[in-house]
Amino acid sequence: MDSNYSDALNTVSGVLVIDKPVGLTSHDVVQVVRRGTNIRRAGHTGTLDPRASGVLVVLVGPAVRLSEYVSASDKRYQAVVELGVTTDTFDADGSVTSSAPVDVTEEQFSEALASFVGEIEQVPPPYSAVRVKGRRAYDLAREGEEVDLQPRKIQVYNLELLEWDPPEAVIDVSCSSGTYVRSLANDLGTKLGCGAHLVGLRRTKSGRFTLRDAVPLKKLREAFDNGTWQQYLIPSGEALSDWPALELTPEQLDEVRHGHRIPGTWEGKSWVRGMSDLGELVALLEFDTETSEWQPRKVFNS
């Protein structure tokens, strides 16, 4: 590889918002990005199951250091739930564990749906990537071991019934990161007394990015082949555009890039994006109320 081309790739940093198709793992998509860009530093910010499609945010280059902040963003989904059947995986990939007649009205379904809005405790599915004593829950479950997962607090901001065609229902789910829609479907079936499982899932939003921002993976592959993929690369700073921005003076820029604190004022926001006058993300800064200074927590040197 030409050294100048390699150096140019080393400076590439940003976000690819991809519409993941059904059938691929999130890791598969990251591998496609690595091969297509020739950039090894790439990672996604929130796993989508192989059966699920939709918004997958992939960070490329130095932007991967934003992962822990972008991963914590809220998510939105359209989910298809089938009533009357439960499975061991809480989705259509699993083995059927029970079946029951569906004697549920649309009003009863909507009432049950509303009971899951707010801060709730949710137990992850047995077949999930949650670690139990150092091992993935799905590995233990596949080996026939009893998986005892502890409930977690999550936020469900909104649940809306979009289509009612029993035994199936299509719902819109707006929730915090870490929510398992499979568990939500299973719990909904338990509450209704007939059981349920997830048969379809499409992520429509992750953080500030929606399907409108997403490029279909097939189209991105074509762009990799013809060398035009960077048209889809979104600047790193936009990954956290819901954070307040602090424009740094040239003097502050130099201080922050060397990891030094800078004096400032606090207006109720403890974290900000430190931006250059060219709109580049320079650092993530946290305010120290004791010293009235901004402390660089992540610095992105150009």
Determine whether 49 is an active site residue.
yes
- Compute the distance between CA of residue 133 and CA of residue 146 in angstroms, rounded to an integer: 13
Q: List the domain range (segments joined by +) for residue 60.
A: 3-71+208-238
Task: Answer yes or no: do 153 and 183 share one domain.
Answer: yes
Task: Answer yes or no: do 198 and 83 share one domain.
Answer: yes
Number of structural domains in the chain: 3
pLDDT in tens, the chain (302 residues): 544 444 445 578 899 999 999 999 999 999 999 999 999 999 999 888 888 999 999 999 999 999 888 887 899 999 999 999 999 889 998 889 999 999 999 999 999 999 999 999 998 887 665 565 555 555 545 555 666 677 889 999 999 999 999 999 999 999 998 899 999 999 999 999 999 999 999 999 998 899 999 999 999 999 999 999 999 999 888 888 888 999 999 999 999 999 999 998 877 778 999 999 988 899 999 999 899 999 999 998 65
Task: Answer yes or no: do 110 and 192 share one domain.
Answer: yes
Task: Answer yes or no: do 81 and 168 share one domain.
Answer: yes
DSSP assignment of 222-265 equals HHHHHT-GGGGPBPGGGGGTTS-EEEPPHHHHHHHHTT--EE--
Tokens, residue 192: 């209704």
Tokens, residue 242: 């819901």
CATH number for the domain spanning 179: value is: 3.30.2350.10
Task: Answer yes or no: do 223 and 198 share one domain.
Answer: no
97-141 pLDDT tens trace: 999 999 999 999 999 999 999 999 998 887 665 565 555 555 545
Catalytic residue among 7, 28, 49, 103: 49
- Compute the distance between CA of residue 301 and CA of residue 283 in angstroms, rounded to an integer: 8
Task: Answer yes or no: do 94 and 151 share one domain.
Answer: yes
> Residue 57: left (phi > 0), alpha (psi -120 to 50), or beta?
beta
Task: Answer yes or no: do 115 and 174 share one domain.
Answer: yes
> For residue 96, which of 202, 166, 189 has the smallest C-alpha distance?
189
Radius of gyration of the chain (CA): 22
81-94 pLDDT tens trace: 999 999 988 999 88
Task: Answer yes or no: do 216 and 143 share one domain.
Answer: no
Three-state DSSP at 22 gives coil
Task: Answer yes or no: do 192 and 218 share one domain.
Answer: no
- Compute the distance between CA of residue 31 and CA of residue 162 in angstroms, rounded to an integer: 35
Task: Answer yes or no: do 289 and 248 share one domain.
Answer: yes
Task: Answer yes or no: do 36 and 122 share one domain.
Answer: no
CA dihedral over 219, 221, 223, 225, signed as positive or negative: negative
